[in-house]
Amino acid sequence: MKLTTTPSNDGYYFPAEFKAIGEVWLAWPERRDNWRDNALPAQKTFARIANAISEVVPVNVAVNQAQLQQARALLKPEVELFEIPFNDAWMRDIGPTIVVNNEGDRRGISWKFNAWGGEYNGLYDDWSQDDLVASAVCDAIGVAHYNAPFVLEGGAIHTDGEGTLYTTEECLLSPGRNPELSRQQIENNLQQYLGIEKVIWVPNGLFNDETDGHVDNLLHVIAPAKVVLSWTDDPKDPQYALSREAESSLLAQRDAKGREIEIIRLPTPGPLFYKEEEASGIEASDGMTREAGERLSASYANFLMVNGHIFLPLLDESTDQIAIDILQRALPKYRIVGIPSREVLLGGGNIHCITQQIPA
């Protein structure tokens, strides 16, 4: 059911990822111009991630009809499959953002989707099926939904669930998103659709992130007024200045409750680059270039929090354990589940990008 009001007017707000989660959704990768070797390595990795999460909460996977048999073979029996067409498998961005009210009722938001930039710098030309996924997921889980009148992706926003939204200027002010809207109009829209009171703007996302700097690849909100931030101490790394710029920006702002923001530095893996065999296994296309030696936008902040668990991408043997130790100290009650996920990174994101949590 499509609603014509707004979540804020109806008393709904965007809850934090560290609150109770009822289920998690993914979509099944198959695009040959983004996933190498007929998407088979990516499918095995997606399955490993979905199967791991299914040990904590129910997991549902959207699958195009031609891939149903392959998905069923790799996923645990308890992972439920839904035949929902889409253009590429980034459920964080094409799926619904779920809002709740104080009674625990849930509703969904279907954002306008344009493949991360539309005609300006989108990654592919046809996103018509992607744009219908959020409403299909809402129908599948039995919640009504709002159709937001502006372009946004789930990976572009993080919240503390207490009135504060985190995002980047690089993404939300990109000419490929909503060029007709001013920064203030974008803030007003976010307040109307997410029930938030304060937007924390960070200038830029992670270096070479083809989503125009999604905030979920740069930082993760792990508690009210507490974030982990992708960091490097190598002054020769282009990320060096970006991380410091982000930290300065966060320290200069207060959240919706007037609190200073605590920042925990999380090392970036690598730097990591496409290998020759990885780049050559992808079909050429206009929107997505994948070249040997190109810098990967790798981040440990791109994890998923689910009911006392962190599903963390493992990307670099020299830094994986450092990242685990930092997160374990920051969140001592959490169980950290590391999953090798380079194949997801090769497609342009990681575990947070391919999942969408549904609040309990």
pLDDT of residue 199: 98
pLDDT of residue 137: 98
pLDDT of residue 56: 98
| Joined tokens for residue 169 | 């200027």
C-alpha distance from residue 287 to each of 17, 33, 170, 290 (Å)? 31, 9, 19, 10
pLDDT of residue 289: 78
Mean pLDDT, contiguous 10-residue spans, the chain (360 residues)? 92 98 98 96 98 98 97 98 98 98 97 97 96 98 97 98 98 97 98 98 97 98 98 98 98 98 98 95 82 96 98 98 98 98 97 98
> Is 138 part of the annotated catalytic residue set?
no
List % helix, strand, coil for the chain (3-state, nearest 5).
Answer: 30, 25, 45
Triad 138, 66, 82: Cα angle to 5°: 20
Task: Name the CATH code of domain 7-359 (choices 3.90.1110.10, 3.90.79.10, 3.75.10.10, 3.10.310.70).
Answer: 3.75.10.10
75 in Cβ contact with 47 (< 8 Å): yes
pLDDT of residue 285: 80
pLDDT of residue 100: 98
Q: Which of 200, 353, 354, 358 is catalytic?
A: 353
Whether a cis peptide bond, with omega within 30° of 0, leads into 271 is yes
pLDDT of residue 1: 80
